[in-house]
Chains A and B, each alone.
Chain A
Amino acid sequence: MKSKNDALKINKIKKSKRFENLDVVIFLGPFLVVFFVFTILPVFISLFISLTNFNMLEFPDFVGLANYEKLFLNDDIFSLAMQNTLILAVITGPLSYIMCFAFAWLINEVPPKPRAFLTLLFYAPSLAGGFAYVWQIMFSGDSYGYINGFLMGLGIISDPILWLKDETWMFTVCVIIVLWQALGTTFLTFIAGLQTVDRSLYEAGAVDGIKNRWQELYFITLPSMRGQLLFGAVLNISGSFGIGPVITAIFGFPTNGYALHTIMHHLDDYGTVRFEMGYACAIATILFVISFAANKVFQFVLGRIGK
């Protein structure tokens, strides 16, 4: 039994609702458009272009899976890059993650004032952007290089080592530098997360028979900050597949003997130097898939901690 009046009212409400949503559009719109174009769309563009041959000038022509075929079967440097990327990610990813947590946890045990200082000290390396040069001098290959000079002074080595050119050492040096800068956003997240763990849980735990700090860590702290652990992992995993600019800054491009050639370098090489966009997009797609899969695997593992 709707009268005309009621219908009008409903219309009015609907109209006002539509208006209410108008400001949502204004608030959210700009972000959503840009986010979609530069973050979501690239995944699909990469996927689509990877099935074509495209040089930015002529219209892309469809070649099916030829790019992937070439990547996996005929590109030795790609398999080398893939290998380097995976090894680097498997080593620096978990190590940096553990470092972030371990240092955050230790810093959380000291009183607030030294804590603030220690936080700054440990976070400073990731604040420092242009430090590649400092590392180059430290690991410089002649006897003026500081590491060489130091080790020779101690008598550990007799001849200077070409840290940045010698394929047996490049990898180790790279891992050291990456770990030096590893305490970034994840580290801050963990420090903040540790400060929000409910203190009464610790007291209750002590009453319930928790004997030492390791048990406390495993049974109380870790489960209480599951959210932050997951967020940190997402950042670190995505980050550890994106190690590329650091390597270029310190070791140059291409690295000696392709010893530190990663997927990122291969991508830049084909995308921004040779302009073989189809091929570059195939590489990008693979990178997307790997980092996403690694994240999912970690989520699965984390889901089992403390349960």
Chain B
Amino acid sequence: MAKNKNVVVVDGVVQKQETVGIFRKRPKYDAEGREIHYKKKKLFKSRVNRSFGGDLFMFSFLLIGGLFMAIPLVFAISNSLKPLYELFLFPPTLFVKNPTVKNYTDLINIMSNSLVPMSKYIFNTVFITVVGTTLRVIFGTMASYPLSKRNFPGKKVIMQTVSLSLMFAAPAATIANYMTMSALGWIDTYWSLLVPAIGSSMAVYLVKNFVDGFPDAVLEAARIDGTGEFRLFFQIVMPNLKPAWMTLIVFAVQEYWNMGANIFIYREELKTLNYALSQVAAAGIARQGVAMAISVVMMIVPVITFVITQSNILETMATSGMKD
């Protein structure tokens, strides 16, 4: 019995534990304090009401969808490893025959020879990603705490406005924001990219719903013990919101890391990696291999953050429901 990690014995009955994402789910307890175990699902067939035909249909649907998603990714990785002559074969091949890392070394060469040193673009992107993400996570979580756990006038109105604001196509605000930014003198500075990170309605919406699940009793107990609101938030609430801020980190990293040309930024030395890379790629078909290498390199950071935090994200998104 001990060999299988998923099998547990409760009250003499063998049951299996369910896992979420790649990690095991935290144990849940029922009203009398006993641990609740869910039966683990087997690949197809185990649940009731499942027909073989339906399974087959689903499996083929997943397969087609998976191929559709995977082909461009495989194509990019494979092409980034192709030597030059293989890139211009006719008919073109999907998979590489003689893999080489030449495209990646070429990329490094091009990067060191460009007008604005590539290290500057990398620095800019890392800077924007780190600062933007930090601001969004800190101010987003801070704002959602009182919205969830405190009573003050205007609370409902604020929350309704936040969820309402999600319904507007955000890019429509760019022109008005351009005018605001230029009135503030922020055009062509990083203020225009970083300050809006503080006011992310999406962040507040997600974290607020997550904080709602935090037990009030803990807060009350700490308040009776004389804990101030700030200590309460940073030492008790914040550590428990880990899944929520992990989620914000993934979404923010994704957004800032992939940020390309932007109407608020004109100066070359303030531009980001994604923009610089699109310029390298614009050199045309001769740089195809290098451009593919770029696309692959650009993907690494968001994919790694996602893999690390996957289970946290699912935990947070589970509470993201909207009331109608």
| Contact surface of A with B, Cβ cutoff 8 Å | 20-21, 23-24, 27-28, 30-43, 45-46, 49, 56, 99, 102-103, 106-107, 109-116, 118-135, 137-138, 140, 143-146, 149-150, 152-153, 180, 183, 185, 188-189, 191-193, 195-196, 199, 202-203, 206, 210-213, 215-216, 225-228, 230-231, 234-235, 237-239, 241-242, 244-245, 249, 264, 267-268, 271-272, 277, 280-281, 284-285, 287-288, 290-292, 295-296, 299, 302-303
Are B303 and A112 in contact, CB atoms less than 8 angstroms apart? no
Known: A112-B22, A130-B295. A267 touches B172 (CB 8 A): yes
Are B310 and A120 in contact, CB atoms less than 8 angstroms apart? yes
A/B interface sample: 24 pairs, CB < 8 A: A27-B145, A30-B198, A35-B200, A39-B199, A42-B173, A112-B18, A115-B21, A121-B66, A121-B69, A129-B302, A130-B277, A137-B292, A144-B285, A180-B69, A183-B69, A188-B313, A193-B321, A211-B49, A212-B49, A225-B321, A234-B322, A239-B169, A242-B170, A288-B169
Are B73 and A230 in contact, CB atoms less than 8 angstroms apart? no
Question: Could you tell me the distance between the alpha carbons of A149 and B198 in the complex, rounded to whole angstroms?
Answer: 48
Q: Which chain B residues lie closer than 8 Å to A116 at the CB level?
A: 21-22, 310
Task: Kindly identify, within residues 143 to 171 of chain B, every residue whose CB is under 8 Å from any CB belonging to chain A.
Answer: 143, 145-147, 150, 152, 158, 161-163, 165-171
Are A284 and B316 in contact, CB atoms less than 8 angstroms apart? no
Question: Could you tell me the distance between the alpha carbons of A212 and B204 in the complex, rounded to whole angstroms?
Answer: 39
Question: Could you tell me the distance between the alpha carbons of A35 and B158 in the complex, rounded to whole angstroms?
Answer: 10
Which residue of chain A lies nearest to B192 when distances are taken between CB atoms in the complex?
A: A38
Task: Kindly identify, within residues 197 to 235 of chain B, every residue whose CB is under 8 Å from any CB belonging to chain A.
Answer: 198-201, 204, 229-230, 233
Could you say which of A128, A191, A199 contacts B299, with CB atoms under 8 Å apart? Answer: A128
In the complex, whether B127 has a CB less than 8 A from a CB of chain A is no
Q: Which chain A residues lie closer than 8 Å to B58 at the CB level?
A: 106, 109
Q: Which chain A residues lie closer than 8 Å to B166 at the CB level?
A: 234-235, 238
Are B169 and A241 in contact, CB atoms less than 8 angstroms apart? yes
In the complex, whether B112 has a CB less than 8 A from a CB of chain A is no
Known: A213-B49, A227-B321, A288-B168. A38 touches B199 (CB 8 A): yes
Which residue of chain A lies nearest to B51 when distances are taken between CB atoms in the complex?
A: A212
Which residue of chain B lies nearest to A46 when distances are taken between CB atoms in the complex?
A: B176
Are B20 and A195 in contact, CB atoms less than 8 angstroms apart? yes
Q: How far is the CB of A110 from chain B (nearest CB, A)?
A: 6
Could you say which of B168, B303, B323 contacts A227, with CB atoms under 8 Å apart? Answer: B323
Are B43 and A111 in contact, CB atoms less than 8 angstroms apart? yes
Interchain residue pairs A-B with the least CB separation, the first 4: A227-B321, A129-B258, A34-B199, A42-B176
Per-residue interface assignment for chain B, residues 301 to 324, with 1 indicating a CB less than 8 Å from any chain A CB and 0 otherwise: 011001100100111111011111
Which residue of chain B lies nearest to A177 when distances are taken between CB atoms in the complex?
A: B72
Question: Could you tell me the distance between the alpha carbons of A288 and B47 in the complex, rounded to whole angstroms?
Answer: 45
Q: Which of B172, B180, B315 has the most CB of A within 10 A?
A: B172
Are B54 and A212 in contact, CB atoms less than 8 angstroms apart? yes
| Contact surface of B with A, Cβ cutoff 8 Å | 18-22, 38-44, 47-51, 54, 58, 61-62, 65-66, 68-70, 72-73, 75-76, 79, 88, 90-92, 94, 139-140, 142-143, 145-147, 150, 152, 158, 161-163, 165-180, 182, 195-196, 198-201, 204, 229-230, 233, 251, 254, 257-260, 263, 274, 277-278, 281, 285, 288, 291-292, 294-295, 298-299, 302-303, 306-307, 310, 313-318, 320-324
Question: Could you tell me the distance between the alpha carbons of A17 and B76 in the complex, rounded to whole angstroms?
Answer: 60
Known: A118-B62, A271-B175. A112 touches B321 (CB 8 A): no
Are B230 and A23 in contact, CB atoms less than 8 angstroms apart? yes
Q: Is the interface of A mostly helix, strand, loop or mixed?
A: helix
Are A46 and B90 in contact, CB atoms less than 8 angstroms apart? no
New contact pairs (18) apart from A132-B278, A137-B288, A180-B68, CB-CB < 8 Å? A27-B146, A30-B142, A32-B199, A35-B204, A38-B199, A42-B175, A46-B176, A128-B73, A129-B258, A129-B274, A144-B90, A192-B314, A196-B318, A212-B50, A212-B51, A212-B54, A242-B169, A272-B175
Q: Which chain B residues lie closer than 8 Å to A130 at the CB level?
A: 258, 260, 274, 277-278, 294-295, 298-299
Are B321 and A231 in contact, CB atoms less than 8 angstroms apart? yes
Are A129 and B254 in contact, CB atoms less than 8 angstroms apart? yes
Are A134 and B318 in contact, CB atoms less than 8 angstroms apart? no
Q: Which chain A residues lie closer than 8 Å to B48 at the CB level?
A: 202-203, 206
Q: Which chain B residues lie closer than 8 Å to A145 at the CB level?
A: 92
Are A129 and B44 in contact, CB atoms less than 8 angstroms apart? no
Question: Could you tell me the distance between the alpha carbons of A144 and B175 in the complex, rounded to whole angstroms?
Answer: 40
Are A189 and B317 in contact, CB atoms less than 8 angstroms apart? yes
Q: How far is the CB of A161 from chain B (nearest CB, A)?
A: 15
Are A150 and B69 in contact, CB atoms less than 8 angstroms apart? no
Q: Which of B42, B167, B302, B315 has the most CB of A within 10 A?
A: B167
Q: Which chain A residues lie closer than 8 Å to B316 at the CB level?
A: 192
Are A37 and B258 in contact, CB atoms less than 8 angstroms apart? no
Q: Which chain A residues lie closer than 8 Å to B313 at the CB level?
A: 188, 192
Are B41 and A111 in contact, CB atoms less than 8 angstroms apart? yes
Which residue of chain B lies nearest to A154 when distances are taken between CB atoms in the complex?
A: B91
Q: Which chain A residues lie closer than 8 Å to B317 at the CB level?
A: 185, 188-189, 191-193, 228
Question: Could you tell me the distance between the alpha carbons of A39 and B199 in the complex, rounded to whole angstroms?
Answer: 8
Q: Which chain B residues lie closer than 8 Å to A225 at the CB level?
A: 321
Q: Which chain B residues lie closer than 8 Å to A137 at the CB level?
A: 79, 285, 288, 291-292
